[in-house]
Amino acid sequence: MIKKCFLFCLFLVFSTLFSISIEFLPQATVTNNVVTVFDVAATFNGIDKTSLRNINLVYLPDNTSYDLDVRYVLFELSKIATDLVATPTNGTIWISNVKNQNPSTLTESLAKEIALESVLSKLSPQSEATILSVEGTITKHENFSVDILNTKTGTFVVRFNLFEKGSLTGFYSLNIFAKHLRKVYVATRDIYFGELVVSDYLIETYINDLNVFGTNIKLSDLPMIAKKNIKVGEPVFKEYLQTIPYTVKYQIIEGFVIINGVLVKAKFKLLEGGNIGDVVKAENIETGKIVIGIIEEGPRLFIVK
């Protein structure tokens, strides 16, 4: 009996740890500097308040606000839950710290901690951030605010504005480089618009994809045709390629039409490429007449006009 009770309790514990449903607030107001999952949760099941309070997200100085990426919250929750249902699953949560009565002072170590955590909270899980340089000095102050500037080149500037008796007395900035490595195929040579792309033209490598957008291709998708010029070393994404049409422009194929039950055939030069079922224009090789037809398997052209 004791063993059964123990197993039942163990089952309850694992259910709590590994199955969570949660709905996030669109905005939240906090009075603590450390923001936790509990602070941004509207409703939740499968986990208790204490556990949510133990998951730290960002450090928010007094009298500041911040847009927290929902994906970062989900990443932190995924460390304790294998079955996670969340609403929403993207976007940001606006968080404000309105604790005016307790001034907050900045130190170099605290600035580094806040800067790194602030940048990482805006990025995809598994991202990395490194401090490149520091500008300014920490002057005497009672409190401070934080501004984060994304330069769109993988670098961020985190600026601390220092205040004494309500007046700005100085600033302290950290330049941070961020990266999120992603394995993609890049071009081993210049590839030109309309060129047939084969696996020999590609090599797999890692890139920093924070400011690069595209869908990875599979070698099994090749060959395909380039929709743009692609320079050597540039990632080759699915959006840059198109599938090879069943027929291509200027291809000579057989065309046919049925007149009064009689099958009439002729050779036609396609004036545009297409796939089976596409309607295309073609030129009769003998007469030069332009017709419209439907591409069929073969390939052959069923003349409709």
Residue type, 63: N
- Residue 7's pLDDT is 42
For residue 152, the model assigns a pLDDT of 67
Residue 286's identity, in one-letter code, is E
**pLDDT tens digit sequence for 77-128:** 988 887 889 888 888 998 888 654 444 788 899 999 888 988 887 787 788 8
Bond from prior residue into 223 cis (ω within 30 degrees of 0): yes
Q: In the chain, count of helices (H) and strands (E)?
A: 5, 22
CATH 3.40.50.300 fits 181-242, yes or no: no
Report the top-level CATH class of 103-179.
alpha beta
Among the CATH numbers 3.20.20.140, 2.30.30.760, 3.30.70.2860, 3.40.190.10, which is that of 252-303? 2.30.30.760
Fold equal for 103-179 and 252-303? no
pLDDT, tens digit, 9 for 90 and up, residues 204-261: 999 988 878 888 999 998 999 999 999 999 999 999 998 888 888 889 999 999 888 8
Beta bridge partners of 226: 241
Q: Where are the domains of the chain?
A: 13-102, 103-179, 181-242, 252-303
The pTM score is 0.49
Give me the CATH code for the 13-102 domain, please.
3.10.129.70
Residue 76 corresponds to which amino acid?
E
